[in-house]
Amino acid sequence: MINIAIDGPGGAGKSSVAKAVASRLGIIYVDTGALYRTVGYYVRKKNVDPHDADGVAALLPEINLEIKFEDGCQWVYLNGENLGDAIRTPEMSMYASAVSAIPAVRAFLLDAQRNIASKNSVIMDGRDIGTVILPNADVKIFMFASPEARARRRFDELQAKGQNVKFEDVLSEMNERDSNDRNRATAPAVPAEDAVMFDNSDVDLEGSIKYVIDLVLKKCGDKL
């Protein structure tokens, strides 16, 4: 059994790479960002300011999250409802960033994430997987790229989904979220001391996937 942690800023391609690596290695991909987006979705639904720590914490007892793995994909159910792509909007990215800075929210989700990793070979991506969630992970990677490269990827992704967005707005939101994630007091988005740094600004998706798989096989291929 192995645990793989991929951290880094938004738009670095962590989720796309992690999903592909999980599929090719036959392990479980845990989308931690989807958990925070789902909490953010509920906070937005209740018209609570996502920066209001007490207000958000008060909502947590009302939230029932279920993680289901169906056809090789992870789905997060909020109080029995699969939200699908409703949590994948730029607005939900900002809500996720805000609520993820609240200690009560992180504590709320911590046990669920660790429980999955204790029972399965997993690859998780997020902001603090290698530093907080899985500090003893077999492989830790901090994946990053320039803000412009990441904003372009996110812009193309959103347009492909039919969302009417402007590149300048995506870049602005990217920079704002980077600042929030990097400077927050609770679990800031920084590399683990033993993480492998991987700049994929000029590396395509397939190249990034190969890089991670090669690293995993080199470090712990005998455990697969």
For residue 155, give its domain range. 3-223
pLDDT, tens digit, 9 for 90 and up, residues 172-217: 999 998 888 888 777 778 899 999 999 999 999 999 999 999 999 9
pLDDT, tens digit, 9 for 90 and up, residues 10-60: 889 998 999 999 999 989 898 888 899 999 999 999 999 999 999 999 999
- Per-residue confidence (pLDDT) for residue 72, from 0 to 100: 66
For residue 106, pLDDT over 70 is answered with yes
Structure tokens at 146: 């320039």
Structure tokens at 223: 């455990």
- Per-residue confidence (pLDDT) for residue 185, from 0 to 100: 76
Average pLDDT over residues 66-78: 80
Domain count, the chain: 1
- Per-residue confidence (pLDDT) for residue 19, from 0 to 100: 92
Q: For 53-90, give one letter per residue: b (16+ CB within 10 A) or e.
A: beebbebbeebebebeeeeeebebebeeeebeeebbbb
CATH number of the domain within which 57 lies: 3.40.50.300
- Per-residue confidence (pLDDT) for residue 5, from 0 to 100: 97
- pTM for the model stands at 0.78
Burial of 44 (C-beta count, 10 Å sphere; 0-12/13-18/19+):
middle
With cut-offs at 50, 70 and 90, classify the pLDDT of residue 74: confident
With cut-offs at 50, 70 and 90, classify the pLDDT of residue 109: very high
Q: Which residues have CB under 8 Å from 111's CB, separation 6+?
A: none
Q: Which residues have CB under 8 Å from 183's CB, separation 6+?
A: none
What is the edge-to-edge ordering of all strands in the sheet holding 139-144? 28-31, 122-126, 3-7, 139-144, 196-199
With cut-offs at 50, 70 and 90, classify the pLDDT of residue 163: confident
